[in-house]
Amino acid sequence: MLLLDIGNTNVKYFDGHRVWRERVEAFQLPDAPFYYICVNPRVEEKLAASAYGQDLKAWFDFPTRYSGLGVDRIAACYTVEEGVVVDAGSAITVDLMRGGVHRGGFIMPGLSSAKESFANISSKLICDPHREVDLTQLPQNTADALIYATINPIVLMIEEVRGDLPLIFTGGDAKRLLPFFKDARFRENLVFEGMQKAIKEKRNAC
């Protein structure tokens, strides 16, 4: 069973054993049956022409009052009963789950987006997302100041909504953020886990 998670920047594939990715510009339709979620309008027309693809968007039974919640965020939260789900990709999405119900969430620029924002202000503002940073001390140089101003707001906002809930990270920048949180878990294939659950529920209902 081939699963595709199609984002704005990358397409991630999962065949039940391994995960791989490619840039969305290089995406070609598989020539065998596949299931997918997609948040990229540029790819949707190509997917609609496929004889093999099955869009999972309508297969998620997901209670929420959030208007316009992306299917990628739904899939990431779908196997979480209690917790805060952080998907750290091009954007960082944070979603609160209680009793299997989505209670709301928010979106922040991802680390790469913050880096680009500084560069757009001045060519001298070079932010290295992987630079070590001590959030307990105010920076004393520009390089530290940039990464401090990138990481610290992310940590503070997530901790503010977390409370006593488990914290679950996924996404390409998840491992960069994990060390700043106590008792946080990394689930690399969280979105694919949600897709698998939706497929299983659909099959059991038939």
Return the active site residues: 72
Q: What is the pLDDT of residues 34-65, one digit of tens each?
A: 999 999 998 998 898 898 999 999 999 999 99
Question: How does DSSP assign 17-57, residue by residue?
Answer: S-EEEEEGGG----SS-EEEEE--HHHHHHHHT-SSEEE-G
Give how far Cα 19 sits from Cα of 50, 58, 64, Å: 22, 24, 29
Residue 136 has pLDDT above 90, yes or no: yes
**Helix axis angle, 111-121 to 142-162, nearest 10°:** 140
Q: Which domains does the chain have, with CATH numbers?
A: 2-55 (3.30.420.40), 71-195 (3.30.420.40)
Average pLDDT over residues 165-176: 95
Percent of the chain with pLDDT strictly greater than 70: 100
Q: What is the pLDDT of residues 102-130, one digit of tens each?
A: 999 999 999 999 999 999 999 999 999 99
Three-state DSSP at 76 gives helix
Average pLDDT over residues 151-178: 96
Distance CA 136, CA 139 (A): 9
